[in-house]
Structure 1
Amino acid sequence: MPRQRNSARRHLELKRRVWWFKIGVPVAMRGHFGGKTHYRENLQTGDIREAMARRDQVERDTRSLFRQIEAGKVVSAATLSARERGTIWREALVDLRHADDHAEEGELTAYDVAVSAAEEEAERLRGKDRKEFAAAFAGKVPIDEHLETYLKAIKLADKTTNERRGLVKRFARWCDQEGLKLPDINRRAVGRYVTDAIEPMDRSTAKKHLTALRGYWDYLTLRGHVDGKVVGGRAIDSPWLGQTLPDNKRRIERGDNETERAFTTKELQALLYTDYPEEMDTEFRQQIEDALRISCLTGMRLAEVVTLWVEEVHDDLFDIQQGKTISAARRVPIHPDLKEIVERRTKDKTPKDWLFHELAKERDPGDTFGKRFKRYRKSLRVNDVREGKRRSLVNFHSARKWFITAARHAGQPLETIKDIVGHKPNKKEITFGVYTKGASAEQMRACVEAVKLPQPPLAG
């Protein structure tokens, strides 16, 4: 019987106790790789499990590069700018330096040869080209130099991607004003930025800002754009580590506990039963009414509601296949009061059609609908803006919060509510967090059906 290839170690090669990624270069593309038959990248770890995790990401990036070359979107090395060539040389030397850590003292290594070759290329350049090559080779590039590559690698939802782009670029603008390049960012510089820009922010915004910058720095360190050690995909000596926000206030002032909240009964009655605003386009009326009811009676997030496919509505369930977290993939029973909406929106449609077909061609359906709903609720004076707060304390997400509150008030178990809305189980609570597989279908249906929309307000 022929020996089966160990797929777990595919594209992995062990050299001097360090794992490398290795993949064959298609014949038609070898000119882009200096005629090499194989492409290699140092994974900078001797741990096989960590190597396999890093291998998977590098493999995706490399195959994406192959597709871009095949489509003519990537030019050959000969047409690269001096700055791009300097960056490539820097990244190559980072890989070679780690690979030669175990070389004998005095031994001529591949790293030494590469340094000489890079210096020779710099000598051939003149004027502005030489300066740009030298700056890139030294890593003296703007903070957001590798931002788009990073965002492509992490593959977040469009809204989150745009949010992270904006947060990193805000830091990049501050660094530009301060005359700081990538190698200049140390704990002192980061501390100044946290004090100047992040601490004055609303606390939730500040946490998002720190999270975005920590994630970007982990990527920069992993790819060798900044110096540092990486363990488990995290930069253990990142200047962003430990940059927590002070939380030493003893006294609570008015407004300190004001956070985004669920709709009140009166607000939800206004949204459900008030006449449609005359100033709004009537073509949006049905989608707003339907989406609001679905979220209120399922606890589904905005993006989950408006991007459902018809084939994901079956067996009296919303079968959610994608979302914000791993826990977002779940099945939610369809509330009896939603059956008319579901029947109307699935009628005469194919499995791949959208339940909210009117949003299918929008570049960002969630953002587009969110803006429409914002105009709708503000027209009905359902708004709660407080001093010092950037956003209203009520928005479409308040429907999800209302469902959770209503289910709790109806006496439903916390664990069942979490399963319905797609919240992560508490791993610290061993019994429910580790040993159970979640609520039963009967428990989830009972929980959903325990929630009832408020009745219309009495006339007069």
Structure 2
Amino acid sequence: MALSSDRMFLERHGNQWRVVVNVPKRLHAKLGTKLKKALGTDSLAEANRLKWDAIAELKGTIALAENPLLSLEAFRSGSRQQAVQKALHFAEQRKRAFDPASLEEIDEEIDWQAESLAGRPIAADERGHEVFDQERLRLATDFSQLARGDKTPLDLHHEKFLAMSHVKARTSADDKRAMNLLKEWCKKAGVQPYLQAITKKEAVRFCDELPNLTINLTPVTLNKYVSRLSVYWTWLENRHEVESNVWKGRRLREPQQTTDQKERPFTDGEVKALLTGPAEPEMHDLMRIAALCGARLDAIVCLKVKDCRDDGVFVFKPQKREPGPRLCPIHPDLVEIVERRKKGKEPEDDIFPEWPGVKKSASLRERSFKTSNEFTAYRRSVGVEDRREGKRRGLVNFHSFRRWFITKAEQAGQPESTIAVVVGHKRQGMTFGVYSGGPLLEQARRCVEAVNLPVLKK
């Protein structure tokens, strides 16, 4: 499409000039292949001055002959959003066009719409060449590139990606934050917000400059966002929307932690303090279950009566990357708690109704959010705390019960592969991680029963 050509839409007819406008193929039966209008002049300069009214008239005739998805007037209104949506519609049509004739027809329509967007020239340069309004010309060029698939907005496929991801709401929110950060960076860095513009070099720049966009976020959190972009790009690569995943291997450097800076299990003394302190009954029950099965907080709080089976097994909902519900034997010391909390309830009733979860349906917080806050306040009230300068989080939290269980199971001589199955970790190695079907339930039961609470004396 030569938008600056002096002979655009013009042809000689004898000694004079006339306007010629191509008719979309779908209207050939109604209007023929071309519409023409004589300008009554042999001067090219005069023809260029007169042609635009004639072009508008002929294109108006074409517009009246059809009921387009987006009218010519809508394009002339200057609405970039409407133009972009129409361009993306054409891009999808081009992907589905497998024969040259269909592709040619679509491209003719793209040219026609782009020429309409460019509008009339507003002046002529020193050589007599037509000059177009730069904003309209830029819109026409963007439209043409989008419609032909030469430019693809960063988030064009993002909603579809999210719909197909089957991840938790919080992870989906991370995906959206990551995309917003990338678009914000593109705007500040002067990078066009298109998939084709994000090269490996630009991905490195983004990672280098990301901490400046989000001053209060740690490298761990920022790497989470980079990771979500990598997942999106892998999805795009598999669908042939990008050539490769430019985020593969990209990570911000995280400060190296010494042993005394890492989050840790509770000590036996801390477990005693927690289990003998003035906690509410539901908190006492919750802590004992956590200590004697190693489950995550949200999995325990979400237990229903039906999940505490009569054959002595918990059925925990999937957590993290677990592919499905996980079975875990109920420790003998927990039987009384479980039976008491099941008594008189229906299968769908909650084991811990004291923490019903967040009321707002749009909230991304887990059901256990309030439980976690209450435990933290209680833990601190009994003096179980371990904070280090420069670290946002303390070294002990509810997850320390899980670490304590794993530690005690290991100290009791239980196989690492069995412990991994009991707590829902991925088993390591080819033998256990790929070929083994997992330990029998009785092996898991022996692992659970190998862990005992410390002797509790007030």
TM range (shorter): 0.5 to 0.7
What are the Cα deviations for residues 151-175 of structure 1, in whole angstroms up to 9, with x where unaligned?
Answer: 3331211233333333443333333
The percentage of counterpart residues that share the same residue type is 33
1:414 CA drift (Å): 1.0
Q: Does 1:414 align with 2:416?
A: yes
Q: Does residue 241 of structure 1 match 2:254?
A: no
Q: Give the 5 Å matches for 1:222-261.
A: 227-229=241-243, 237-244=244-251, 255=258, 258-261=261-264
User: Which residue in 2 is equivalent to 1:216?
Assistant: 232
Counterpart contact for 1:82–1:130, Cα < 8 Å? no
Q: Deviation string for 1:221-240 (max 9, x for gaps)?
A: 5567xx523xxxxxxx2221
Q: Which segment is superposed worse, 389-398 or 197-206? A: 197-206
Contact 2:187 2:193 in 1 (8 A): no
Look up the match of 1:423. 425
Moved more, 209-218 or 169-178: 169-178
Asked if structure 1 preserves the Cα contact closer than 8 Å seen for 2:408 and 2:451, the reply is yes
> Given that residues 93 and 114 in structure 1 are in contact (C-alpha distance below 8 angstroms), is that contact kept between their aligned partners in structure 2?
no
Equivalent position of 2:171 in the other structure: 160
State which of 290, 298, 301 in structure 1 corresponds to 2:293: 298
Partner of 1:6: none
Q: In structure 2, the residue corresponding to 1:390 is in which secondary structure?
A: coil
Q: Note if 1:357 corresponds to 2:358.
A: no
For 1:404 and 1:328, how far apart are their aligned partners in 2?
A: 21
Alignment gaps of 5+ in structure 2: 1-67, 120-132
Which residue identity lines up with residue 91 of structure 2 in the other structure?
Answer: L
Q: CA RMSD in A?
A: 3.7
Corresponding residue to 2:329 among 326, 333, 351: 333
Change (3 A) 1:135 1:262: farther
The 8 Å contact of residues 297 and 452 in structure 1, kept in 2 or not, is answered as yes
State the TM-score, normalized to the length of structure 2.
0.66
Question: How big is the shift at 1:188?
Answer: 1.8
CA shift, 1:443, in A, is 1.3
Cα separation, 2, equivalents of 1:317 and 1:133: 65
- What amino acid maps onto 1:238 in structure 2? N
Select 1:191's aligned residue among 204, 210, 223: 204
Which letter maps to 2:184? R
Secondary structure at the aligned position of 2:233 is classed as helix
Distance in 2, Cα, partners of 1:268 & 1:77: 68
| Aligned mates of 2:415, 2:251 — CA distance in 1 | 34
1:447 and 2:447 equivalent?
Answer: yes
Deviates more, 1:396-405 or 1:89-98: 89-98
Deviations 1:390-442 (A, max 9, x none): 3222222222111111111111111111111112222x332x33443211222
TM-score by structure 1 length? 0.65
Counterpart of 1:365 in 2: which secondary structure? coil
Name the residue aligned to 1:392.
394
CA shift digits 1:240-285 (9 cap, x unpaired): 12425569x9xxx873773222122233223222224xxxxxxxx3
Question: How far is 1:332 from its partner?
Answer: 0.5
List aligned pairs for 1:44-443, cutoff 5 A. Answer: 83=81, 86-87=84-85, 89-90=87-88, 93=91, 96-97=94-95, 100=98, 108-123=100-115, 135=142, 138=145, 143=154, 147-183=158-194, 184-197=197-210, 204-221=220-237, 227-229=241-243, 237-244=244-251, 255=258, 258-276=261-279, 285-314=280-309, 315-326=311-322, 329-360=325-356, 362=358, 363=361, 364-426=366-428, 428-430=429-431, 432-443=432-443
Change (3 A) 1:405 1:193: same
Q: 1:267 to 1:171 in 2, by over 3 A?
A: farther
338 and 429 in structure 1: CA distance in 2 versus 1, 3 angstrom threshold: same
Q: Which moved more, 1:142-151 or 1:320-329?
A: 142-151
The Cα of 1:304 is off from its aligned counterpart by: 1.4
Cα distance in 2, alignment partners of residues 335 and 451 from structure 1: 9
> Residue 115 of structure 2 contacts residue 140 of structure 2 at CA under 8 Å; is this kept in 1?
no
The CA distance in 1 between the partners of 2:143 and 2:275, in whole Å, is: 58
- Partner of 1:290, secondary structure, is helix
Specify whether residues 260 and 143 from structure 1 end up closer, same or farther in structure 2 by C-alpha distance, changes over 3 A only.
farther
For 1:291 and 1:166, how far apart are their aligned partners in 2? 33
Q: Compared with structure 1, are the counterparts of its residues 172 and 433 closer, same or farther at alpha carbon in structure 2 (3 Å cutoff)? A: same
Q: CA deviation at 1:374?
A: 3.0
How many residues align? The count is: 354
Q: Could you tell me how far 1:135 is from its partner in structure 2?
A: 4.5
Deviates more, 1:285-294 or 1:338-347: 285-294
5+ unaligned residues in a row in structure 1: which ranges?
1-75, 230-236, 277-284
